[in-house]
Chains A and B, each alone.
Chain A
Amino acid sequence: EAGVVQSPRYKIIEKKQPVAFWCNPISGHNTLYWYLQNLGQGPELLIRYENEEAVDDSQLPKDRFSAERLKGVDSTLKIQPAELGDSAVYLCASSLGSAEAFFGQGTRLTVV
């Protein structure tokens, strides 16, 4: 069975442009997480979904970041407009409730 699938793997954009990341969690996993990982640091939670409901988005910079998980399966994370400081790895993870979380390969974003 496929694990957590993210796309794209790499993205380079100019500042002020929009960008979107996509995540397909493991089948049956109701909990989905988006994390931001800066170089040399551990991942930090941006948003957590339980099915289609965003139950923790307190760390999501809502002026430029948005996320959705319309049918409780796939999710997209969008940044508009991107800033230089948004360059990082964006990780998606999924779990069945509070059981072990599984991570995707991540999307490495470079804003120039």
Chain B
Amino acid sequence: KNEVEQSPQNLTAQEGEFITINCSYSVGISALHWLQQHPGGGIVSLFMLSSGKKKHGRLIATINIQEKHSSLHITASHPRDSAVYICAVRFSHDMRFGAGTRLTVKP
């Protein structure tokens, strides 16, 4: 069983919809990252969080340490949000990655 599980694997939405991507993990962590990867391959870090909630523009990330669960929300989704979103957990110097959620937002 993968230490980091993401759902859904694929997600298609209409422009303007509210998006939620979920991440569950099975190890004790020091921090959790939400990453965005566009088709070219490069990865951009969206959030790093160890508790509570963070907001940046239309993106919101939450984490529940007790339940070992995090969510990434996108409000008023736009076609430019189409990308793969990856959850990664950090413990000590190690990082473990989920398989990613491929989001497609249609106009």
Contact = CB atoms under 8 A, between A and B. Distances in A.
Contact of A41 (B30, B35, B100): B100
A1 interface: no
A99 B45 CA distance: 12
Contacts, number: 59
- The A interface is mostly helix, strand or loop, or mixed, namely strand
B43 A103 contact: yes
Interface string B1-40: 0001000000000000000000000000011010100001
Interface stretch (A17-25, A42-50, A67-75, A76-84): A42-50
Given A42-B4, A42-B100, A102 B45 contact: yes
Interface residues of B, number: 23
A48 B86 contact: no
Given A42-B86, A45-B94, A56-B93, A100 B45 contact: yes
Given A45-B94, A93-B43, A103-B43, 20 more contacts: A31-B93, A37-B41, A40-B99, A41-B99, A42-B86, A42-B100, A43-B97, A44-B97, A48-B93, A55-B93, A91-B43, A98-B30, A98-B92, A101-B45, A101-B95, A103-B44, A104-B42, A105-B42, A106-B42, A108-B41
